[in-house]
Amino acid sequence: MSAVLLEARNITMQFGGLKAVDSLQFQVKKGQLAGLIGPNGAGKTTVFNMLTGVYQPTHGEVFLDGQSLSGLRPYEISHLGITRTFQNIRLFKGLNVLENVLIAAHQHVQYGLLDTLLQTKRFKSSEQSLRSKVIDLLHIFNLEKKALEPASSLPYGEQRKLEIVRALATDPKIILLDEPAAGMNHSETHQLMETIAKIRSQFNLTVLLIEHDMKLVMGICENIAVLDHGVKIEEGAPSVIQNSAKVIEAYLGVEDEA
Amino acid sequence: MGFLKRPFLAFLALAALGLIVNFGFNAYIQLIVLFILVNCLLSMSLNLVNGYTGQFSLGHAGFMAIGAYFTAFTSSKIHFLPDSLQLLEFFVFIFGAGLAAALAGFIVGLPSLRLKGDYLAIVTLGFGEIIRVALLNMDFLGGPRGYSGIPSFGPFMVSFLFASVWILICFFTIWRIVHSSHGRGFLSVREDEIAAEAMGINTTEMKVKAFVLSSFFAGVAGGLFAHFTAFISPSSFTFLQSVNAVIMVVLGGMGSMTGAIVAAVLITALPELLRPLQDLTGIDLRMVIYSLALILMMILRPQGLFGGYELTDLWRKYVRRSA
Amino acid sequence: MHDFVQHIINGISLGSIYALIALGYTMVYGILKMINFAHSDVYMIGAFAAYYVARWLGIEAQPGIASLLMLILVSMLACGFLGFLIERFAYRPLRKAPKLNILITAIGVSLFLQYSGQVVFGADPKVFPEVMTDYVLLTFGPVELRSFDLTVLGVSLVAMLCLEFLIKKTKVGRAMRAVSSNALVASMLGVNTDKIIAFTFVVGSSLAGVGSVLVGMKYPKIDPLMGMMIGLKAFVAAVLGGIGNIGGAVLGALIMGLSEEMVVAYLSSTYRDAFAFGILIVILIFKPAGLLGKYSVEKV
């Protein structure tokens, strides 16, 4: 039994009269590759927004390593080790690929303002090592050759990959991926899933990913929670999910579209 | 002392320029050159907030006013060094002027930087006006009559070199910060605040830092302005002055240091260049042309002259390639 | 106590003028999400248009309601046309430009009108012709109700009711509301958004025209920079009420008018302008959506 890394305890998100997420309870264990699935509009992204502090849950709490995240700002949560990607890619479009990733590494920067102003050795060596670390990360996704290109000039699939690289640069304990394969074709998706599995073992990461395409996550996720209309309707290993009547019902009619 | 090499070379270049102006032009043009230096400071400092951090500020004149009044008051009332070291004393006071403006920037910035876009522009405008109205009501600073008898630096060359030192401090401070991890933090706020937060950037801290640093140099600019004109009044720091600063940043191209400088030169010199037109027609059409040019530029070249590139980038892109 | 009632009457009268101008800001913001900085100068041009027409027709010889109404009409036409021109030639080309550019263009138009005004009309103040005679209409003890205050109130009330009717009951008003809530959807449903936006500018500007004649009548000194302060206060009123919200603008304007009157009466007149900004800052920091506005959550 490995320890629980991330836990959502009865979190609810209410927008006016609408309960986008209702008393959601789930855990992600250290090192696990977990999935959060559900039809479109089930509230998956809202869950991510609560986990990362973009929204404060109306009720309930989120815990990371036993520490409550209530009231923390998104950047503080990022410093504690939760990082994410976005469903509608949110890169720093006006900056180049390298800068995009360097920004995420800012929290690990070793030099202060004075070092910057006086251009000390510490500034130079630390900038240098930061850059080489980032180049190494870019290398995993074969993006190092495009380091100096504007992020907005990358093709769609590479923009998604760049978001993952950027998230990794924060040195996270857990990475939340919001539909990482959206807009990719079959072989690209397959390749991406392999990379995700690879970085998990390489960086000792825990991964939680959102997908509305059920088949996709069945292959790699070890534990899956299914969300429908803001409520968790099922949770368990892929085999459990596949045979659940409730899940099949929730997905009926959406199946072909996905 | 390697970090001083480039600033020193730049100082020599500026000094050479100063000598040309000193011997080649009359006192009137020399004064305009000094105003150009003041405006360079203003536009570089505002560029940090508007261009790099992506926050609109329409209250820069307020911070400039604080610096100007601080300098005016201290330099005419306080002496703590022998006369031979008076320039050093002025330097200390101008640094103090920067700090006073920075403090005001912190007080203004902390609550208002939570707002975005137009709202932030309006709140900073409001703060700028409040500073001006407060000065109007402060009798010990002269109220509406203004403050006169501010000591000057003496000959043109001294003023020019003194201002040049501050220009270089401002330029290299901002340039080095922008090309460091802190500066990338500023840029990330401009690009996408939500993504920046998710990547661990404390966006509030970044915005306040940029705002405070920017206010500091606006205060310095105000201090220099006070010494150059020897007389200041609240009407020197109206909304129009803030607008002027924004126009310089936008004209130069947001987020381009060299662009900000070129724009400051153009905007300061333009009314003087248009003076013959006034002599010819007998009416003062300068401001009409100025405002019309502004509208046309926004429509025809919205990215500004340099569009976020530096002079050196453009040099590499066009001149070297064609060579 | 009588003083207090008198100040309330004056405050409401002032507030209703602010309301007429604030409506223009709020309507344009509602539909384009931009602050039309030039609005206050459109108002100034309206006052001058009325001034020159009044002089040309020799209206001073025959003050009365008919003259007032005619000048209001003139000013509305002038302002409406100017509003149309500004939207068409300065703002429309920038529909998709970054916000800062639009803001600066608006400031540019404002400066252009002010400086052109100084060149064309001269920088010195002019005396607005007497379009009506001011006399005490009613007295309740020491409290006076003057004909000007009643006229100001009556005219602005009628103007606002017309606007209410236009927006709520007519087809074009429905289109305005549709564009304001979602321009893209409105255009897909067959609304000609360009036309509706232009129409909004014309309506908002002509309301400022109404205001300019009322101000000219009540405070008969006009100059090319007259729009700046009143424009800022009207803008504050719009923000106070919740910018983009029509009812909010009127509410905000009344609060502004009343509180300004009270500050001048009971505190100090030197701070009357700083006070307006004080209100603005407090509102924006603590309740950025204003009294009646809704604050939208950014979608992630």
- pLDDT per position as a tens digit, A7-50: 999 999 988 778 899 999 999 999 999 999 888 888 899 999 99
Instruction: Assess A49–C contact: CB distance below 8 Å, yes or no.
Output: yes
**Helix B239-252 and helix B27-47: axis angle, to 10°?**
80
Q: Which domains does chain A have, with CATH numbers?
A: 4-81+172-251 (3.40.50.300)
Instruction: Out of C35, C101, C115, name the one closest to residue B298 (CB).
Output: C101
Q: What is the pLDDT of residue C20?
A: 92
| Residue entry with tokens 């079959």 | A186
Classify A1 as helix, strand or coil. Answer: coil
As a whole-number percent, the residues of chain A with pLDDT over 70 amount to 96
* Chain B neighbors of A92, CB-CB under 8 A: 187-188, 191-192, 195-196
Q: What is the Cα–Cα distance from C265 to C244, expressed in whole angstroms?
A: 31
Pairing status of strand C143-146 against strand C136-140: antiparallel
Q: What is the pLDDT of residue A96?
A: 93
Reported residue count of chain A is 258
Q: What is the pLDDT of residue C299?
A: 61
For C214-242, b/e burial (b = at least 16 CB within 10 A) is bbbbbeeebbbbbbbebbbbbbbbbbbbb
In degrees to the nearest 10, what's the CA dihedral of C24, C29, C34, C36?
Answer: 10
List, for residues A37-95, the tens digit of each pLDDT value: 888 888 899 999 999 999 999 999 999 999 999 999 999 999 999 999 999 999 999 99
Q: What is the pTM for the complete model shown?
A: 0.88
According to DSSP, residue C77 is labeled H
Instruction: Out of C101, C103, C108, name the one closest to residue B121 (CB).
Output: C103
Q: What is the Cα–Cα distance from A142 to A162, expressed in whole angstroms?
A: 10
According to DSSP, residue C295 is labeled P
Instruction: Assess B270–C contact: CB distance below 8 Å, yes or no.
Output: no
Handedness of CA A41, A43, A49, A54 (dihedral sign): positive
Closest CA to C44 of C19, C79, C16, C70: C79
Residues with pLDDT less than 50, chain C? none
Q: What's the complex ipTM?
A: 0.90
List, for residues A116-137, the tens digit of each pLDDT value: 988 888 999 999 999 999 999 9
- On whether the CB atoms of residues B185 and B201 are closer than 8 A, the answer is yes
Provide the H-helix boundaries in A178-233: 186-203, 214-218
Q: Which residue of C has its CA nearest to A46?
A: C300
> Which residues make beta-bridge pairs with B147?
B232
Closest CA to C272 of C257, C283, C285: C257
Q: What is the pLDDT of residue B46?
A: 96
Residue spans per domain, chain B: 2-237
Question: Do residue A49 and residue C297 have CB atoms under 8 angstroms apart?
Answer: no
* Chain C neighbors of B291, CB-CB under 8 A: 108-109, 111-112, 115
CATH code that applies to domain C2-286: 1.10.3470
Per-residue three-class SS string for C121-159: HCCCCEECCCCCCCCEEEEECCEEEEHHHHHHHHHHHHH
Chain B residues 105-124 within an 8 A CB cutoff of chain C: 111-112, 114-115, 117-119, 121-123
Residues 6+ away with beta carbon under 8 Å from A42: A212, A227, A228, A229, A230
Residue spans per domain, chain C: 2-286
Classify B123 as helix, strand or coil. Answer: helix
Q: What is the Cα–Cα distance from B148 to B135, expressed in whole angstroms?
A: 14
Average pLDDT over residues A162-185: 91
Classify A23 as helix, strand or coil. Answer: strand
In degrees to the nearest 10, what's the CA dihedral of A237, A238, A244, A248?
Answer: 150
Q: What is the pLDDT tens value at each position of chain B, 323 positions in all?
A: 566 778 888 898 999 999 998 888 898 899 999 999 999 999 999 999 999 999 989 999 999 999 999 999 999 988 888 888 888 999 999 999 999 999 999 999 988 888 877 788 888 988 898 899 889 888 899 888 999 999 988 899 999 999 999 999 999 999 999 999 999 999 999 999 999 999 999 999 999 999 999 999 999 999 999 999 999 999 999 888 998 899 899 888 888 889 999 999 998 988 888 888 877 877 778 888 888 888 888 888 888 878 778 887 877 777 665 54
- On whether the CB atoms of residues B73 and B141 are closer than 8 A, the answer is yes
Reported residue count of chain C is 300
Q: What is the pLDDT of residue B271?
A: 81
Q: Which residue of B has its CA nearest to C123?
A: B284
Nearest chain C CA: its distance from B299 CA (Å): 6
